[in-house]
Amino acid sequence: MEITCYRSSETSREARSLPASTYNLAITLLARCASGHLFVPIRSMQYLAIVNIEEFVFIDGERKCWIDIAWQDFQSKMRTSLDQPVAYKAVYYREKQAVIISRLQREFPVALRALADKETLNNSARIIKFPKPVA
């Protein structure tokens, strides 16, 4: 899939944190993508998240290729354990995005989980039978 995205001028930015479970799942799913980009449809909001190692961008279905919000500068290396939240900067490219970012924080993990649940493992399994112990 190929999408060309555009950014308007930045309207504001703020420091936020992402729950560890959300960040860890996004990075785990991203690691499975050969392209280095993970496309996550957030159907409940009609948004598309595009995840790469540097940032997560969110595109409204109505504006198609214009980025509304980007999550950047993840501070994952500042954590001392994998269950700690990850600090990041939310960059806004439209006015009045407070309601949208709150919904994204709730709906993005749900969309990630749905994507993870859809993914099938293509590896074949083999069962090794061990002989019963002699009594």
112 lies in a domain? yes
Which strand ranges, in their side-by-side order, compose the sheet holding 38-42? 12-18, 86-92, 67-72, 55-60, 47-51, 38-42
pLDDT, tens only, 36-94 = 889 999 999 999 999 999 999 999 988 888 999 999 999 988 888 899 999 999 999 99
Residue 98 domain-assigned?
yes
- Tell me what the mean pLDDT of segment 96-114 comes to: 93
Residue 19, domain extent:
12-118
| Number of folded domains that form the chain | 1
Is residue 2, in this structure, part of any structural domain at all? no
Read off the pTM: 0.83
pLDDT-derived band at 109 (thresholds 50, 70, 90) equals very high
Element (H, E) at 118: helix 98-118
40 within some domain: yes
Is residue 7 included in any domain, yes or no? no
Scan for tokens 């109505």, then name that residue.
62
In a domain, 109, yes or no: yes
46 within a domain of the structure (yes/no): yes
Does 6 map to a domain?
no
